[in-house]
């Protein structure tokens, strides 16, 4: 036992040397939970279980350079909220799964068509659907005079369809920002369909070496992959909603919001070409910020993470647009 403890003392500095964000993350957990003990170990493991998919989300963004993780979390939100609506009407679980999976496929095809034909940002579309379903749930709570531990505590003039008005204002600002940034090539690759409209796939599709038939097959394969991802996240959302119940789902929404924030951090890392430890450090700093706002200002952390992810998305898009503009400018050569 003592030998194992001594070996761990040597392994921790090695881990910190290869992973510079180790000590800041450890400091965050110590500040949040205090000194390690039997009671705190469960909470720390729970927090680590939340950050494992978040780090995977950052790695996914780093590798792909698109927002498939962010869009996936929004679709999971939508599917789970739809599952809660069906649960209020005593719909069987198998029927609710069939309905949500069908809606997920329809939404995947609709997102593909709208993003391709009308050049509407995919993240904006998925966020609108999620907020609409969220608002319907809030309206249903008010009609049945029931309260929830989330954000619905009766009728409130500062809300519209159950969602705070400042969230709608932030969504409108996000829509205007994405519409402006969508003019650039980098903005299109950042906000449109991940596999379908990535910069690399655009370069492949526009290449003269690829025949028209092969290009069409490539588009169909990538579109089918996107629909499959919609089905998978829809299934996970409906199972989360129906098995955990309304209260458990709303208390676990921060889990998915954290993945969304991490995906946004990953997109910013991809735009600024930062490393994964830097993203983990930013994620830890965002966790501290969210906890401070939630405790001191009594703001729901889900909304805080929405705003944080939206800011990070706009930062990454603006950075990419600036870099592209700098790249396209003619260089002054001294002769």
Has residue 316 got a pLDDT over 50?
A: yes
CA distance 261 to 283: 8
- Between 200 and 117, the more confident residue is 117
Token pair in block for residue 221: 């394969």
pLDDT bin (cut points 50, 70, 90) of residue 210 is very low
Backbone angles phi, psi at 163, to 5 degrees: -110, 135
Q: How many CB atoms lie within 10 A of CB 188?
A: 18
Q: What is the pLDDT of residue 259?
A: 53
* Three-state SS sequence of 145-201: CCCCCCCCCCCCCCEECCEEHHHHHHHHHHHHHHHHHCCCHHHHHHHCCCCCCCHHH
Has residue 278 got a pLDDT over 50?
A: yes
Token pair in block for residue 199: 């910069």
Q: What is the pLDDT of residue 67?
A: 45
Burial of 118: CB neighbours in 10 Å, binned 0-12, 13-18, 19+: exposed
pLDDT bin (cut points 50, 70, 90) of residue 95 is confident
Q: What is the pLDDT of residue 293?
A: 64
Tell me how far apart the 2 most distant CA atoms of the chain are, in Å: 78
Q: What is the pLDDT of residue 198?
A: 38
Q: What is the pLDDT of residue 294?
A: 61
Q: What is the pLDDT of residue 246?
A: 45
Residues 129, 74: contact at Cβ < 8 Å? yes
- Arithmetic mean of pLDDT, 289-310: 61
Mean per-residue pLDDT of the chain: 54
Q: What is the pLDDT of residue 66?
A: 44
In 3D space, the residue among 213, 214, 193 whose CA is nearest the CA of residue 68 turns out to be: 193
Considering the chain, what percentage of its residues have pLDDT values greater than 90?
0
Considering the chain, what percentage of its residues have pLDDT values greater than 70?
0
Across 116-120, 273-277, 326-330, the highest mean pLDDT is recorded for 326-330
CA distance 217 to 169: 41
What b/e sequence results for 122-156 when a residue is b if at least 16 CB atoms lie within 10 Å of its CB, and e otherwise? Answer: bbbbbbebbbebbbbbbbbbbeeeeeeebbbeeee
Model pLDDT for residues 157-186, shown as the tens digit of each residue: 444 444 455 555 555 555 555 445 444 444
pTM of this structure: 0.38
Lowest mean pLDDT among 124-133, 145-154, 168-177, 312-321: 145-154
Model pLDDT for residues 242-257, shown as the tens digit of each residue: 444 444 444 445 555 5
Backbone angles phi, psi at 160, to 5 degrees: -135, 120
Q: What is the pLDDT of residue 209?
A: 46
Q: What is the pLDDT of residue 241?
A: 46
Across 63-77, 87-101, 116-130, 206-220, the highest mean pLDDT is recorded for 87-101
Model pLDDT for residues 31-73, shown as the tens digit of each residue: 545 555 555 555 555 555 445 544 544 444 444 444 444 455 5
Has residue 219 got a pLDDT over 60?
A: no
């Amino acid at each position: 036992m003592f030998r194992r403890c001594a070996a761990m003392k040597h392994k921790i500095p090695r881990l910190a040397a290869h992973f510079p964000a180790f000590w800041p993350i450890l400091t965050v957990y110590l500040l949040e939970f205090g000194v390690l003990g039997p009671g705190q170990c469960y909470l720390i493991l729970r927090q680590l279980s939340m950050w494992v998919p978040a780090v995977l989300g950052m790695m996914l963004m780093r590798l792909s350079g698109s927002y498939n993780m962010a869009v996936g979390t929004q679709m999971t939100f939508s599917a789970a909220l739809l599952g809660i609506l069906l649960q209020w009407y005593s719909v069987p679980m198998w029927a609710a799964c069939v309905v949500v999976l069908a809606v997920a496929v329809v939404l995947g095809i609709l997102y593909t068509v709208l993003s391709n034909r009308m050049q509407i940002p995919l993240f904006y579309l998925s966020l609108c659907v999620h907020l609409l379903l969220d608002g319907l749930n809030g309206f249903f709570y008010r009609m049945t005079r029931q309260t929830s531990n989330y954000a619905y505590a009766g009728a409130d003039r500062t809300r519209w369809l159950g969602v705070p008005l400042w969230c709608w204002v932030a969504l409108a600002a996000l829509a205007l920002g994405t519409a402006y940034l969508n003019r650039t090539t980098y903005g299109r690759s950042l906000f449109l369909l991940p596999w379908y409209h990535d910069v690399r796939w655009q370069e492949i599709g526009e290449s003269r070496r690829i025949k028209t038939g092969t290009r069409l097959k490539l588009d169909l394969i990538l579109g089918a992959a996107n629909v499959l991802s919609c089905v998978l996240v829809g299934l996970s959302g409906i199972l989360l909603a129906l098995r955990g119940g309304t209260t458990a789902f709303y208390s676990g929404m921060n889990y998915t919001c954290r993945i969304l924030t991490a995906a946004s951090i990953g997109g910013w890392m991809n735009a600024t070409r930062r490393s994964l430890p830097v993203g983990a450090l930013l994620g830890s700093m965002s966790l501290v910020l969210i906890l401070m706002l939630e405790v001191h200002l009594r703001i729901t952390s889900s909304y805080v993470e929405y705003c944080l992810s939206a800011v990070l998305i706009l930062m990454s898009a603006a950075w990419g647009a600036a870099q592209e503009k700098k790249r396209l400018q003619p260089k002054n050569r001294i002769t």
